[in-house]
C-alpha cells in the first residue's frame, strides 16, 4: 500500500489501514483512501479523536484465530480499525434532521454497518449512534469514553444493579472498562472492591474504590468476602472460582476473552462461564450498545463531574500503531486516546 501524500482531494481522506494480520508496527500503514459519503440515516464526522479498545488489537493480530472466520480468513475484510467517535459533523444523510453540519458530536460505529473505521480523517455513523458532545468534555475525552464507558455502564448499572448495600468486585479495575466501572458503581452508591497490581492501588483508591485486592499478593477467589456482583475484565480465574465468592443471589459478569492466544483464545472459559449460568450461578454477559439513551446517560455522568475519562496517554493518528501496541501490553491505566489533527498535520 503506498504511503499517503500530503494533500487530500475532496474524494479521499487520510487513514491508517491494515491489509494483513500481525504486530501493529508491521501491519498498520498510512494511506489515502476514499472518503465515505453518508447513507440516508448516516452522518459523516470530521474526526477529532478516537481511542484504542480491545476489539482493535484483536483485529490487528487476527486473534483468537477463530475470529478470522468472520473478520477475513487471510486478511482483514475491513481495513480500518477503531469505533469510538468524537468530531464535527461534515455531512448528513437525507433522513437526518436533528444533527447539522458543524455540530460537535460523539458516539460510536460499534455494532453498526457503518465503515470504514474511525482511525481516519472522516468516519460515518448512524445518526442514532451520535449525540451532541457535552461542552464540558474535550474531543479527546469524548472520543476515549464510548466503548469502555458504555460497557461499564451496562455492566454495573443494568446487569449488576449496583446501588447502596450492594458489593461489587471489579477484576481488572485499572484498565479502560475498570476505571469507568469503579466510578459508575460509586456514583450509584455501591461498595466497590477493586482488583489491581501494587502499582495501581492508590490510583484505584483515587477513583473511589472502598477496598483493594492486590493480585500480586492475594487471590480474591480464595478470600472470605462474598460479592453481589463480580465484573471480570481479566478472566484469569476459573468461572467456578468466581462463583464460589458470590453471595447466593450474586451475579458473575465475564467480560474478557483473556490474552486471546491460540485458535480459541479465552472463548472456552467464557463458554464454561455461560454453561455454569444455566445451572449453579447467575452469569450474565454484557455488550456495548452505544445508542442514544446510553450515550446520553454516559454524557450526563461525565458532564456532571460524577465520573471522569481517565486517559493514560494520547497518540496522534500517525502513531496509531504505537497506540495499539501500548494497549497490547495489557498494562494500560484507563484509556489510550488517539487524536486526529488537521488534514495538513495528519501525516
Q: Which residues bind ligand NAP (CB under 6 A)?
A: 53-54, 147-148, 151, 171-172, 174-178, 195-197, 200, 215, 233-234, 236, 255-256, 286-288, 327, 330-333
Q: Is the dihedral of CA 266, 267, 273, 275 positive or negative?
A: negative
Rounded to a whole number of angstroms, the minimum distance from the CB of residue 333 to ligand NAP is: 5
Rounded to a whole number of angstroms, the minimum distance from the CB of residue 307 to ligand NAP is: 15
Is the CB of 55 or the CB of 341 nearer to ligand NAP?
A: 55
Is the CB of 39 or the CB of 238 nearer to ligand NAP?
A: 238
Rounded to a whole number of angstroms, the minimum distance from the CB of residue 220 to ligand NAP is: 9
Rounded to a whole number of angstroms, the minimum distance from the CB of residue 183 to ligand NAP is: 13
Q: Alpha carbon of 144 to those of 6, 50, 284, 333: distances in Å?
A: 27, 6, 25, 13
Is the CB of 87 or the CB of 178 nearer to ligand NAP?
A: 178
Rounded Cα–Cα distance for residues 262 and 16 (Å): 26
Q: Alpha carbon of 105 to those of 90, 98, 120, 286, 336: distances in Å?
A: 11, 12, 16, 25, 20
Rounded to a whole number of angstroms, the minimum distance from the CB of residue 176 to ligand NAP is: 3
Is the CB of 139 or the CB of 203 nearer to ligand NAP?
A: 203
Is the CB of 234 or the CB of 273 nearer to ligand NAP?
A: 234
Query: Where would I find the beta strands (DSSP E) of the chain?
Result: 12-18, 28-34, 42-52, 84-92, 104-108, 122-126, 130-132, 167-171, 191-196, 211-214, 227-232, 246-254, 282-283, 311-316, 335-339
Amino acid at each position: 500500500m503506498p504511503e499517503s501524500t500530503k494533500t487530500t482531494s475532496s474524494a479521499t481522506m487520510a487513514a491508517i489501514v491494515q491489509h494483513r494480520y500481525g504486530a501493529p508496527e508491521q501491519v498498520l500503514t498510512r494511506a489515502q483512501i476514499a472518503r465515505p459519503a453518508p447513507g440516508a440515516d448516516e452522518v459523516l464526522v470530521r474526526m477529532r479523536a478516537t481511542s484504542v479498545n480491545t476489539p482493535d488489537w484483536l483485529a490487528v493480530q487476527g486473534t483468537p484465530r477463530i475470529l478470522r472466520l468472520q473478520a477475513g480468513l487471510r486478511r482483514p475484510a475491513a481495513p480500518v480499525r477503531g469505533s469510538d467517535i468524537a468530531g464535527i459533523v461534515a455531512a448528513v444523510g437525507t433522513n437526518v434532521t436533528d444533527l447539522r453540519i458543524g455540530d460537535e458530536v460523539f458516539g460510536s460505529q460499534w455494532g453498526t454497518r457503518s465503515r470504514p473505521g474511525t482511525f481516519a480523517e472522516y468516519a460515518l455513523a448512524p445518526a442514532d449512534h451520535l449525540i451532541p458532545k457535552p461542552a464540558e468534555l474535550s474531543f479527546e475525552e469524548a472520543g476515549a469514553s464510548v466503548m469502555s464507558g458504555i460497557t461499564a455502564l451496562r455492566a454495573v448499572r443494568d446487569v449488576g444493579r449496583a446501588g447502596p448495600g450492594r458489593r461489587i468486585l471489579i477484576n481488572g479495575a485499572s484498565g479502560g472498562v475498570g476505571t469507568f466501572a469503579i466510578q459508575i458503581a460509586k456514583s450509584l452508591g455501591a461498595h466497590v472492591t477493586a482488583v489491581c497490581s501494587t502499582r495501581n492501588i492508590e490510583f484505584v483508591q483515587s477513583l473511589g474504590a472502598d477496598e483493594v485486592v492486590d493480585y500480586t499478593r492475594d487471590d480474591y477467589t480464595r478470600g472470605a468476602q462474598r460479592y453481589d456482583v463480580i465484573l471480570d475484565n481479566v478472566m484469569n480465574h476459573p468461572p467456578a472460582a468466581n462463583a464460589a465468592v458470590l453471595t447466593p443471589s450474586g451475579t458473575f459478569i465475564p467480560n474478557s476473552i483473556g490474552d486471546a492466544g491460540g485458535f480459541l483464545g479465552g472463548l472456552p472459559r467464557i463458554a464454561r462461564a455461560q454453561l455454569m449460568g444455566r445451572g449453579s450461578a447467575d452469569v450474565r454477559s454484557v455488550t456495548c450498545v452505544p445508542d442514544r439513551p446510553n450515550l446520553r446517560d454516559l454524557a450526563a455522568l461525565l458532564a456532571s463531574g460524577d465520573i471522569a475519562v481517565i486517559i493514560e496517554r494520547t497518540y496522534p493518528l500517525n502513531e496509531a500503531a504505537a497506540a495499539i501496541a501500548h494497549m497490547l501490553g495489557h498494562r494500560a491505566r484507563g484509556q489510550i486516546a488517539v487524536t486526529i489533527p488537521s488534514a495538513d498535520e495528519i501525516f
